[in-house]
Amino acid sequence: MTLDIVFLGLSLSSSWGNGHATTFRGLLRALDKLGHRVTFLERDVPWYAHHRDLREADFCELRYYDTVDDLRRKHHRELQRADVVVIGSFVPEGRAVIDEVAALCTGQFCFYDIDTPITLARVAENDCDYLTRRQIPYFDVYFSFTGGPTLERLRSEFGARRAEPLYCSVDPEQHHRNRNAIEWDLGYLGTYSPDRQQTLEALLLEPARRLPDRRFVVAGSQYPHEIAWPGNIERIEHLPPAEHASFYSRQRYTLNVTRTSMIAAGWSPSVRLFEAAACKTPIISDRWPGLDSFFPRSAIQTAGSADDVTAILLGQSDRARLNMARQAHSLVLARHTGAARAREFTSVLTQSKQIRPVLDLDVESAA
C-alpha cells in the first residue's frame, strides 16, 4: 500500500552542524524507492539557509515555513490528508508545532526522536522546548534512536502508547569504499560537543601527541578556537555528506565517540558507525551498553584510554584490521541501511492501531 507521509524535522536541506539531515535523507530516499509519497517540512532559519547542501531533493517534496502560523496556513491540507505525519526532535517551537499538527492530523501521528536520552532528560525537568510530557501520549508511535531499556521507560514513565526503535542508517549508494590512498592513521568526524570532547582528547589528541610520526584528522564544525591541536592533526571545518565516503576511505581507522547521555542509555549507535562500516573502514569506538548487539567484538575495536588506542594503531596487523572491517561492512549492509529502516518503519505503521487519543488541546503549549 502506498502511503502519503509528511515529516517535520530539524533540517533536511543542511547538514551543517546537524546530524539529523543524514538520517532523514537516507530514510526518505528509501521510502521513496518503496513507492511512498514523502514530503518534508522544514523551518526556514538563516543558519541552515546559509549552509544548504541539498537545495532540491529528488526523493521527496522539500518545503519550508517561517512560523507556526505559516505552517498551518501553507501546509494544513498536506497535514490533514496525510496517511502518516511524523514530527522529529529539535523542531523549532516543537511544542506549539505538535499541538497545531495534532489538531489537523487525521492519519497516524508519530514522533521520531533522534536525541532520545537528551529529550527524556529535558522532558523530566520540563525544560524541553520541542516536546512536553503531556504530548507524548498523543503519538500512535514514538520512534526512538535509542533502543534497549529506554523503550520500556518511554512506555511506563512517560506514557508512550507504543515505543519502537528506529535507529540511524546508511545509504550504500552514498557510502562505499573508494580508491583513495590512506592519508590518516586515525580520523574522527563529528560536530563539537562539550560532553564528547574529553573522550576525543583521550582517544585521539593524546595518541597524536604520543605518535608524532603518525597522521590524524578531525572533521566537524563549532570547535572552540582555544583547543590546542597537535601539529600532526589535520582540521577540516565542515565535511558535507557527499564527501564522507572519501573521508572514511582515506583512514586506516576511524574513531567513534558517543555523547554522555547516549552512553548512559546504551543502545544508541551513531550514524558515523554505520557510515564508516559501509566504507569498509575499521572502527575504534568508545564503550557503551548494547554496542555488541550491533557489532560483535570480531567486527570492531573498543578503547577506553590513549593506551588502548596507541596499542591498536601500533599492534594490530593489516590483515586483522581489514578482516574486522569486512565483517562490519557485511553486518551493516544486511541490517542497517536506509532500505532496512524504511521497511521497519512501514511495518510498525502497518501493525499500529489506528485509534487516536483524546487530545487536551486547551492545555497551554508551554506546559
* Average pLDDT of span 213-230: 96
pLDDT class of 360 with cuts at 50, 70, 90: low
Q: Return d(Cα 139, Cα 208) in angstroms, integer.
A: 47
| 132 grid coordinates | 512536553
pTM, entire model: 0.86
Q: Which one, of 126, 155, 102, lies nearest residue 362 by Cα? A: 102
Question: What are the angstrom distances between the C-alpha of 96 and each of 64, 67, 83, 244?
Answer: 17, 10, 21, 35
How is residue 227 annotated by DSSP?
-
The confidence score (pLDDT) of residue 355 equals 42
Asked if the model's pLDDT at residue 289 lies above 60, the reply is yes
**Arithmetic mean of pLDDT, 89-96:** 96
Residue 46: the pLDDT is 82
The rounded distance, in Å, linking the Cα atoms of 97 and 114 is 17
Work out whether strand 108-113 and strand 283-285 pair parallel, antiparallel, or are unpaired. Answer: unpaired
